[in-house]
């Protein structure tokens, strides 16, 4: 059986009885058994009580649980027992952080990969208008950057150029206008943030299944978030996963104004909106593409794991990390 991600949007209780995990919400007459063998990881959006026995069981099975608040923002993960790390790899990962040149190199590569994926999107949406020329210039700056803050600065400029072009292509009701966060002030921002949070958690799950230390990062400062390496990797995947889904959902009218509600502190997706977005997200992650190097089909989700493997290879010194640029 192929393991799948499980998303819980409703409120309820997750508990264990004998060797079975159950979920029960108010609407259910009987608790619903969850087959742990088929679960890859769990994403919880509702108010869910989890018993410690359930957590023990999930830890035993190596299943990570990700929690989101009612805005759909990532709160944190239950990251069961750090798997056996490789002392050697940990040392190399840290070395690439401590060595300024090595850190800068990786930070640049994350920004570059991200930018090239943005470019790819704009071309698909036919709003690339001068973006490539601009990138050339900004990449030169990137090469010259001697500090992480300078790299971050270039990154921010690339991003704002990207958003302003993407905006041209979006329906009137869903302009990004100004990308705001926490709380998002408009629908498109809310949608993108929701997807980015989910993507971040997925990356945390994938890193969990490798020997990489998720807390040592390069573009982002370690400690910016607990799993800052997932932030680095999400730069690569945000454009080609989250942005593409968001774009499709509003262009096709799957997500409409009615899927949002205004709150004191911003615009939020409704439960129904979240359900639709999660569904689209899961479908997307299960889609596969032919991998040019591996010569096999791999799912979009697997691409994240593969990116982690490429980093591992970089750290141990067989070839340089070459960020994924979407060929699809």
Partner 1 sequence: MEEYPLDDLLITGTEINYLFICPTKLWYFAKGITMEQESEWVDLGKFLHERRYGNEEKEVQIGRVKIDFIRKGEIIEVHEVKKGKSMEKAHEMQALYYLYYLKRLGIEAKAVLHYPQLNETKEITLDGREREVEEAIQEVVRIKSLPAPPKPVKSKKCRKCAYYELCWV
Applying CB under 8 A, which of residues 240, 269, 274, 312 lies at the interface with partner 1? 312
Of 3, 85, 178, 226, which lies in the binding site for partner 1, with binding defined by CB under 8 A? Answer: 85
Closest approach, Cβ 142 to partner 1, in A, equals 25
The CA distance from 188 to 267, in Å, is 9
Which of the ranges 21-29, 31-39, 45-53, 87-95 carries the binding residues for partner 1, by CB under 8 A?
Answer: 87-95
Count of chain residues binding partner 1 (CB under 8 A): 19
Pick the stretch among 93-101, 245-253, 266-274, 301-309 that binds partner 1 (CB under 8 A): 301-309
Q: Does 89 bind partner 1 (CB under 8 A)?
A: yes
Say whether residue 288 binds partner 1 (CB under 8 A).
Answer: no
In this complex, which beta carbon is closest to partner 1, that of residue 102 or of residue 291? 291
To partner 1, the closest distance from the beta carbon of 158 in angstroms equals: 26
Report the distance separating Cα 8 and Cα 14, nearest Å. Answer: 10
Q: Does 310 bind partner 1 (CB under 8 A)?
A: yes
**CB-based contacts of 125-130 (< 8 A; 24+ apart in sequence):** 125/166, 125/169, 125/247, 126/169, 127/165, 127/166, 127/168, 127/169, 128/165, 129/165, 129/168
The distance of closest approach from Cβ of residue 85 to partner 1 in the complex, given in angstroms and rounded to an integer, is 7
Helix residue ranges, H only, 35-80: 52-60
Q: How far is the CB of 298 from partner 1 (least distance, A)?
A: 8
Among 2, 149, 293, 327, binds partner 1 (CB under 8 A): 293
Judge contact between 172 and 186, C-beta under 8 A: no
Q: How far apart are CA 291 and CA 235, in angstroms?
A: 20
Residue in 138, 177, 311 with CA at minimum distance from that of residue 232: 311
Cβ(9)–Cβ(32) under 8 Å? no
Q: How many CA atoms lie within 13 A of 251 on its CB side?
A: 12
Q: CB neighbours of 55 closer than 8 A, spacing ≥ 6?
A: 65, 78
Which parts of this chain interact with partner 1 (CB under 8 A)?
84-89, 211, 291, 293-294, 305-306, 309-310, 312-313, 316-318
Residues belonging to the binding site for Mn(2+) are 155, 220, 235
């Amino acid at each position: 059986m192929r393991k799948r991600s499980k998303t819980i949007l409703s409120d309820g209780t997750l508990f264990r009885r004998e060797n079975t995990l159950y979920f029960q919400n108010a609407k259910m007459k009987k608790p619903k058994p969850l087959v742990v063998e088929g679960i890859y990881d769990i994403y919880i959006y509702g108010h869910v009580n989890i018993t410690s026995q359930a957590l023990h069981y999930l830890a035993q099975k190596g299943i990570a649980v990700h929690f989101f608040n009612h805005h759909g923002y990532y709160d944190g993960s239950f990251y069961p027992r750090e798997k056996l790390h490789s002392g050697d790899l940990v040392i190399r990962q840290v070395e690439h952080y401590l060595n300024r040149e090595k850190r800068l190199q990786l930070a640049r590569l994350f920004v570059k990969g991200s930018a090239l994926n943005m470019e790819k999107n704009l071309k698909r949406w036919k709003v690339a208008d001068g973006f490539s020329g601009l990138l050339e210039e900004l990449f030169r700056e990137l090469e010259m950057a001697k500090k992480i803050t300078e790299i971050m600065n270039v990154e921010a400029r690339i991003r704002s150029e990207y958003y302003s072009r993407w905006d041209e292509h979006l329906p009137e009701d869903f302009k990004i206008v100004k990308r705001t966060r926490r709380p998002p002030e408009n629908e498109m921002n809310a949608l993108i943030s929701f997807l980015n949070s989910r993507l971040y958690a997925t990356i945390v799950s994938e890193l969990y299944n490798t020997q990489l230390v998720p807390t040592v990062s390069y573009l982002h400062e370690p400690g910016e978030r607990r799993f800052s390496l997932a932030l680095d990797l999400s730069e690569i995947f945000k454009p080609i996963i989250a942005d593409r889904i968001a774009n499709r959902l509003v262009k096709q009218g799957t997500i409409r104004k009615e899927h949002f509600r205004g709150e004191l502190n911003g615009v939020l997706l409704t439960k129904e909106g979240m359900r639709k977005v999660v569904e689209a997200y899961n479908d997307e992650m299960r889609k596969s593409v032919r991998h040019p190097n591996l010569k096999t089909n791999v799912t979009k989700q697997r691409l994240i794991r593969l990116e982690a493997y490429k980093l591992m290879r970089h750290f141990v010194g067989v070839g340089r990390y070459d960020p994924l640029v979407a060929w699809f």
